[in-house]
A and B are shown apart, each in its own frame.
Chain A
C-alpha cells in the first residue's frame, strides 16, 4: 500500500518536473505569435510574412540579445515569427525546420548550431520552394541551399583585436591566447585573423595558447595556471570572448597583479559586463560582435520572398571599444 502511494507521488513529482523543464520551449512561440494574429498594425507596405526561425539556444547573454532583436524586429514589421529554441541540439533544429516546411512558412531562417549535416533537410526546404537564410555562424553546405548568410565576420574581429594591440601596446610583446571551443568557427576564425596581422611583426609573439571553451570559469582556471607557469611574465592576454577575459581578470587580481596595467587584456564580443570592466580600466579593449541582427535578417527575409537578388554574405559592421570610449557607450548598451 505505502509503496504504491510513494510510486504515485514519485510519478506526480516527475511529471511536474518535466513540465517545469519544458516551459521555456513551449512558451517562446506562443509569446511571439501573439502580436500578429489579431491586432492589426499595418504600418508596413510589404506583405506580412510567416517566418520560421530556429535559434541555437539561450546559452549566453549574447544569444539572448540576438533572439530578442529578431523577435522585436518581426513584431515591429508585423511579420508572423514562428520561433523555435533548439537548446543547443542539432536534432531539435532539424525537427524545427521540418515542421516549418510542413506548416508552409514563407521563409526559414536559422542559426546553425554546427557547421555540417544540414544537406538533407535544406534540400527538403528547397523542394518545397521555401527560401532559407543562414545567420550568425557561417554555413559550409552547398551554396544553392541557402539565399544568404547574415552575421559577423569573425576573422575581421580577430584582425581588429590585433590592430588595436599593434597601435596601443609597443615593444617586444608576449601574448597569451585564451581560445574558444576547439573547432568552433568563432575560435578558428578569430585565431586566424589575429595571427594574420601579427605574423609579419617580430615584436609580437604568441607564447601560450590554451582553450577556455568560451566559459568564464575555464578562462579563470587557465589564466590562474598561466600566471604560475613559465609564461607568467606575459604582457598581453587575448581572449576569444569576453567571458573568458572576465575570468582571467579575476585570476590576475588574485595573483596580486593589476589587470589592464600589468597585463593588457584584449577580448571580443562587447557584452555588457565587458563594458563595465572597461570603464573600470580592468579590460583594455573589446571588439564588438553585434548580436542585433534582427533588422538585417528581416530585410533579407523580405527580399528573399520578393525574389530580389542579394549578396551571398551580409556582414555586420563591428566596432572596437576600449577604455577611452567604453564608459560613454555603456548606458546605451542593449546586451
Chain B
C-alpha cells in the first residue's frame, strides 16, 4: 500500500485556513483585473511567498543532506545590495568599478553570481573543511550582513529603475513576476532532482553518508552543489526583495527569513535529520505560512497576536506529523 505523502497535513492546514477565509474574511477570494494583471488576496499570497519559497527550495536540498543553511537571509541582503549599488551608483561603487549601465540582465546575473559565490563558500566549508553546516553557515549569516552594509555604506540604497523593479512589481500573463520566477526555479530543481539520479544521490547522502560514499557517490561535489543551488536561490530572492521596494536595506532585507525557510521545509514534511525530501511539500509549507500572514494582515489581527496565531498553526501541523503524538492519541486496545 502506498503511504500518504508527508505533506498531507500541511495541505490539510492550508485548505483549512483557506476555508476559514472563504467564510470569515469577506472578499478574500475576490480577484479583479487591474491594468492587465490579476489583483486580489490570493494573488498577493502567490506574490509575497516568492522570497521564502525560493529560499526553502534550496533549503530542502541542503536539509536533505543532513545540513542546514543559516546564511540565506544574509545572502539575500548581499545580492540586493550588489544589485542596488550597481543600479544606483554606476560610477564609483566599490564593486571593482563595474558599470553595467541599465542592463537588467547583467545586474540580475551579478546578483545571482553573488549568491553562487556565497553558496560555494558554504559548500567548501562543509564539504572540504568538514565544518558542521550549522557552524559553517552561521559564519556567513553573521558576516554577510556586515558585507552587505559595507557594499551599501550602511544606507538604504534607493533607486528608480522600472526595468529592474519589474522583477517584483511587473506581471506576465496576469500573474506577478515573482510567481513565475518561483515556478521557473521549482521546475528546474524538480527536473534536476526527480528526472535524474541527483535526487536519489542527495537522499542517499542524507540517509547514510558513509554508505553513499562507499557506493561511489561523490559526496563532496554533491554538497558543493546543494549549497550553491541554495546560494543562487537566495540571490534571486534578495533581488526580488530589493526590486519590490526599489531599495536595498542591508539591515532588514531577509532578516530571519532563514528561519521561515526552515519552518516551511519542516512543515512541508521533510525531516531535519536528512534523507527523503519533498519539494512539493516545501512549496505547500511556504504557501501555508504566507497564507497565514496575509490572512492576519487582511483581517487586521492585533500585531501582538500574529506570531502566536502562526505558531499555533505550525504546532498543530508538527504534532500531526509526529508518529509518537498520533500514537498517544490512538485509543488503547482493550484486551479481549
Residues in chain A within 8 A of chain B (CB atoms): 3, 6-7, 9-11, 13-14, 17-18, 20-24, 57-61, 64, 88, 179, 182, 208-211, 215-217, 220-222, 224-226, 228-231, 243, 246-247, 250, 254-256, 273
Q: Contacts A10-B128, A231-B300, A255-B39 given; indicate if A20 touches B146 (C-beta within 8 A).
A: yes
Can you list, as one digit per residue, whether each of B150-188 has a CB less than 8 Å from chain A (1) or not (0)? Answer: 100011101000000000010000000000000000000
Q: Can you sample 13 A-B contacts with CB below 8 Å?
A: A3-B128, A9-B124, A10-B131, A13-B121, A24-B149, A60-B251, A209-B302, A220-B244, A221-B48, A224-B44, A229-B41, A229-B300, A250-B246
For the complex, give the distance between the alpha carbons of A214 and B128 in Å.
Answer: 41
For the complex, give the distance between the alpha carbons of A185 and B302 in Å.
Answer: 18
Chain B residue contacts of A221, Cβ below 8 A:
48, 293, 297
- Report the minimal beta-carbon distance from A206 to chain B, rounded to whole angstroms: 11
User: Is B298's CB under 8 angstroms from A21's CB?
Assistant: no
- Report the minimal beta-carbon distance from A300 to chain B, rounded to whole angstroms: 26
Total A-B residue pairs with C-beta atoms closer than 8 Å? Answer: 121
Q: Does B334 count as interface, using CB distance less than 8 angstroms?
A: no
User: Is B139's CB under 8 angstroms from A14's CB?
Assistant: yes
Q: Does B125 count as interface, using CB distance less than 8 angstroms?
A: yes
- Report the minimal beta-carbon distance from A9 to chain B, rounded to whole angstroms: 7
Q: Does B216 count as interface, using CB distance less than 8 angstroms?
A: no
Q: Which residue of A lies closest to B154 (CB)?
A: A58
Chain A residue contacts of B156, Cβ below 8 A:
60-61, 216, 243
Q: Does B218 count as interface, using CB distance less than 8 angstroms?
A: no
Q: Contacts A21-B143, A255-B39 given; indicate if A229 touches B298 (C-beta within 8 A).
A: yes
Q: Contacts A24-B154, A217-B244, A228-B27 given; indicate if A58 touches B149 (C-beta within 8 A).
A: yes
For the complex, give the distance between the alpha carbons of A216 and B253 in Å.
Answer: 10
Chain B residues numbered 296-324 whose CB sits less than 8 Å from any CB in chain A: 297-300, 302-304
For the complex, give the distance between the alpha carbons of A82 and B129 in Å.
Answer: 40
Chain B residue contacts of A179, Cβ below 8 A:
303
Q: Does B93 count as interface, using CB distance less than 8 angstroms?
A: no
| B245 contact from A20, A23, A182, A220, Cβ within 8 A | A220
Q: Which residue of A lies closest to B47 (CB)?
A: A224
User: Is A228's CB under 8 angstroms from B298's CB?
Assistant: yes
User: Is A61's CB under 8 angstroms from B155's CB?
Assistant: yes
- Report the minimal beta-carbon distance from A18 to chain B, rounded to whole angstroms: 6
Which among A21, A58, A88, A247 has the highest number of chain B CB atoms within 10 Å? A21
User: Is B146's CB under 8 angstroms from A250's CB?
Assistant: no
- The 10 tightest CB contacts between A and B, nearest first, are A225-B297, A21-B146, A58-B154, A6-B128, A229-B298, A21-B143, A211-B303, A10-B129, A225-B298, A216-B245
Q: Does B222 count as interface, using CB distance less than 8 angstroms?
A: no
User: Is B35's CB under 8 angstroms from A7's CB?
Assistant: no
Chain B residues numbered 114-148 whose CB sits less than 8 Å from any CB in chain A: 121, 124-125, 128-129, 131, 139-140, 142-143, 146-147
Given contacts A17-B121, A229-B298, 4 further A-B contacts (CB under 8 A): A20-B146, A208-B300, A226-B300, A247-B245
For the complex, give the distance between the alpha carbons of A243 and B241 in Å.
Answer: 15
Can you list, as one digit per residue, whether each of B278-299 has a CB less than 8 Å from chain A (1) or not (0)? Answer: 0000000000000001100111
User: Is A215's CB under 8 angstroms from B150's CB?
Assistant: no
User: Is A225's CB under 8 angstroms from B154's CB?
Assistant: no
Q: Does B331 count as interface, using CB distance less than 8 angstroms?
A: no
- Report the minimal beta-carbon distance from B251 to chain A, rounded to whole angstroms: 5
Q: Does B25 count as interface, using CB distance less than 8 angstroms?
A: yes
| A222 contact from B30, B142, B297, Cβ within 8 A | B297
Which among B30, B35, B241, B245 has the highest number of chain A CB atoms within 10 Å? B245
Chain B residues numbered 38-71 whose CB sits less than 8 Å from any CB in chain A: 39-41, 44, 48
Chain A residue contacts of B241, Cβ below 8 A:
217
Chain B residue contacts of A209, Cβ below 8 A:
300, 302-303
Q: Does B34 count as interface, using CB distance less than 8 angstroms?
A: yes
For the complex, give the distance between the alpha carbons of A211 and B124 in Å.
Answer: 40
Q: Which residue of A lies closest to B35 (CB)?
A: A256
Chain B residue contacts of A226, Cβ below 8 A:
297-298, 300
Q: Which residue of B lies closest to A256 (CB)?
A: B34
- Report the minimal beta-carbon distance from B128 to chain A, rounded to whole angstroms: 4
Q: Does B252 count as interface, using CB distance less than 8 angstroms?
A: yes
Chain A residue contacts of B35, Cβ below 8 A:
256
For the complex, give the distance between the alpha carbons of A216 and B155 in Å.
Answer: 13
Q: Which residue of B lies closest to A216 (CB)?
A: B245
Chain A residue contacts of B48, Cβ below 8 A:
221, 224
- Report the minimal beta-carbon distance from B139 to chain A, rounded to whole angstroms: 6
| B124 contact from A6, A21, A231, A243, Cβ within 8 A | A6
| A273 contact from B139, B158, B297, Cβ within 8 A | B158
Q: Does B258 count as interface, using CB distance less than 8 angstroms?
A: no
Chain B residue contacts of A57, Cβ below 8 A:
251
Q: Contacts A10-B124, A210-B300, A273-B158 given; indicate if A228 touches B146 (C-beta within 8 A).
A: no
For the complex, give the distance between the alpha carbons of A20 and B146 in Å.
Answer: 8
Chain B residue contacts of A215, Cβ below 8 A:
249, 252
- Report the minimal beta-carbon distance from B300 to chain A, rounded to whole angstroms: 5
Q: Contacts A17-B139, A224-B44 given; indicate if A59 touches B155 (C-beta within 8 A).
A: no
